[in-house]
Structure 1
Amino acid sequence: MGRARFILGIEIDYDMERKTLGISRKAYTESIIKKFGQENAKPCLTPLEPGVQLTKADEPQTEEVKAKMKSKPYRSLVGSLMYLACGTRPDISVAVAKLSRFLENPGEKPWDAGIKVVRYLLKTKDVGIVYDGLLGTQLEAYSVGRQSWRPTLGERDATDAMRCSCGVALDVPENCRSEFNRSRIHGAE
C-alpha cells in the first residue's frame, strides 16, 4: 500500500532524505478562497492588520446594517477558517479567535477582517507544518498572557500568545524570552 499521502483532507509530504514530514491543506485552502470569491483579490501579507481592534462597537448598530449582514455567510467563513487553523494553519488562530467573538451579531468590520484572512490565505496557500525528525521528540512551549480592563470600550481585553513545538523548529527572539513562561517536557511523543 505504501505511505499515506492524503488523510481526511490533509496532504502529507515525506522527505526521508531530510527526515521531515509536512502536513498541509492546500486543496481545502483553495476551496475557501473560491467559496468566498477571493481568487482574483489582492493577496495580504498578514491575517489581520497590526493593532486591529474588533469590539462590541463593531456589531451592527442599525436595522439596515443588520439586514445586510444577514445575507453574508459569516458563520461559514469563521467555521471554515477555524477548521483550517485547528489542523494545519496555526498562523491564523489569533485572527479566527477574534472573528469568533461576532458569530451571533457580525458587523461589516468583522466581515471585512475575515475576508482579509482569506486574502492572506491566497498569498500563503502552500504553507503548512513541517516536523523535523532531526530535532527529536522534545516538546517546548512558550506562552505570554495579559489581561486588562478597557473602560473606554466597556469590555475586558485578554491577549494571549502561545507557541508549541514538537520536532518543529521554534524560534523565539532573544529579546522576547524574558516575557515568555517557558516549559519543557523531554521525551514527549
Structure 2
Amino acid sequence: MEQPEGFKVKGKEDLVCRLKKSLYGLKQAPRQWYKKFDSFMIEHRYRRTTSDHCVFVKRFDDGEFIILLLYINDMLIVGQNSDKISKLKKELSNSFAMKDLGPAKRIFGMSISLDRKNQRLRLSQENYIEKVLKWFNMDKAKPVSTPFPSHFKHSSKQGPTCEKEKENMAMVPYSSAVGSLMYAMICTRPDIVHAVGVVSRFLSKPGREHWNAMNWILRYLRCTSKTSLCFGGGKPALIGYTDADMAGDLDSRKSTSGYLITFSGGAVSWQSKL
C-alpha cells in the first residue's frame, strides 16, 4: 500500500506499507470478507448452494434445516426451529460484530409480510415503486391495466433521425427509468419482465415512441403498485410455464421466449429473452 498523505517517512518516500489485515474500501476487502465468512460457515458444516455461493444451507439429523442468505454484510436467516436459529446467531456474534434486527420485515427494498394464521408469505416493493413513480413524475398519471399492449410494435428505426430529436431525447432520463424498472422486475414483478426487456433494447438510441412505451409501463405500475408475490396459496410443487412468439422482433426477426416457475402458488423464477 502506498504511504498515506501526511504519513510519509522522510527519506523513504519510495517505500510502501505492508498491510497486516484487509482494510474496508480496498479492492481485495470484499474477497477477504467473503473468504473469512465462508470458512466460518464451512467450519460449522454449512454448505454453499451451487447456484448462488452466498446462500448457505445446513440440514440436521432430525430433518430440519437452516438457510442463510448473505448480501455484502446483511444476512437473512430462515429455519424451522427458533432455538437452532438462536444458536447460529450466538455463534456468529462470537466471531463477527453483529446487530440482530429481529424478525425480517424488509430486505433489499422488499417488504416481507408473514401471515402465520393462513400460512402465507408476501413479498412486495410497493414503497420502492411509489418512489420510482415520483422520480419520473408519474405518481399522478392515468393508470392502465396492462403492462404492454399488443399494438405496440417497436424497432430501432423509431430512434431520433435529426439533431433536434436527438437533443430532445438527450433530456429524457430513459436509461435511468430502465434501470429502475429492472430492479422491480428482478425482485418481485415478473409481470413486467417482457415489457422491460423490450424497452431495454433501445438504450443506445431511444426515440419518442420508446419513451411512450416506458411511460405506459410506469402507468401500469401506478395501477398495480400494491401487487405482491404470495407464497403458500398452492401445493408445494414446482410448476412451470413457457411460451414464445414467432419472429416478433422487427429488426432482427428473432423470437422472444419466456418462462415462469412457481412454487407453492408464488413465482420463484422467470425470464423473457430475445
Q: TM-score, normalised by structure 2?
A: 0.57
Asked if 2 retains the 8 angstrom alpha-carbon contact of 1:139 and 1:165, the reply is: yes
Aligned residue in 2 for 1:106: 206
1:53 is displaced (CA, Å) by: 1.0
Q: After superposition, what is the alpha-carbon deviation per residue over 1:31-63, rounded to whole angstroms, capped at 9, x for unaligned?
A: 111001012211111112223111122111111
SS in 2 for 1:11: strand
Percent of residue pairs bearing the same amino acid type: 33
Regions of 4+ moved over 3 Å: none
Q: Does 1:127 align with 2:224?
A: no
Q: 2:254 aligns with which of 157, 160, 169?
A: 157
Equivalence for 2:130: 30
Aligned partner (choices 85, 89, 106) of residue 6 of structure 1: 106
Distance 1:19 1:60, change over 3 A: same
CA deviation digits over 1:113-157, x for unaligned, max 9? 101111111110000100116521x2121212244387xx45223
The answer to whether the 8 A contact 2:156-2:205 is kept is no
Q: Within 1, Cα distance between the matches of 2:153 and 2:234?
A: 40
Which residue of the partner structure matches residue 186 of structure 1? Answer: none
Unpaired stretches in structure 2, ≥5 consecutive residues: 1-100, 268-274
Cα–Cα, structure 1 residues 22 and 65, in superposed 2: closer, same or farther, change >3 Å?
same
Secondary structure of the 1:148 match is coil
223, 242, 265: which one aligns with 1:168: 265
* Residue of structure 1 in register with 2:242 after alignment: 143
**2:152 aligned partner:** 52
Q: Could you tell me which of 159, 168, 189 is aligned with 1:89?
A: 189
Structure with bigger gyration radius: 2
TM superposition score normalised by structure 1:
0.82
Residue-pair matches, total? 167
Distance 1:149 1:169 in 2: 28
* Range moving further from structure 2, 99-108 or 43-52: 43-52
Deviates more, 1:43-52 or 1:92-101: 43-52
Relative to structure 1, is the Cα distance of residues 3 and 145 closer, same or farther in structure 2, using a 3 angstrom cutoff? Answer: same
Indicate the structure whose relative CO is greater, using CA pairs within 8 Å and at least 6 residues apart: 1
Q: Structure 1: any 5+ residue segments left out of the alignment? A: 171-189
**What is the RMSD computed on CA atoms of the aligned residues?**
1.8
Q: CA deviation at 1:74?
A: 0.3
Q: Does the aligned pair in 1 maintain the 2:234–2:265 contact within 8 Å?
A: no
Out of 64, 88, 94, the position equivalent to 2:164 is: 64
In the TM superposition, residue 88 of structure 1 has moved relative to its aligned partner by 0.5
Task: In structure 2, give the amino acid aligned to 1:40.
Answer: K
State the distance in 1 between where 2:142 and 2:130 align: 15
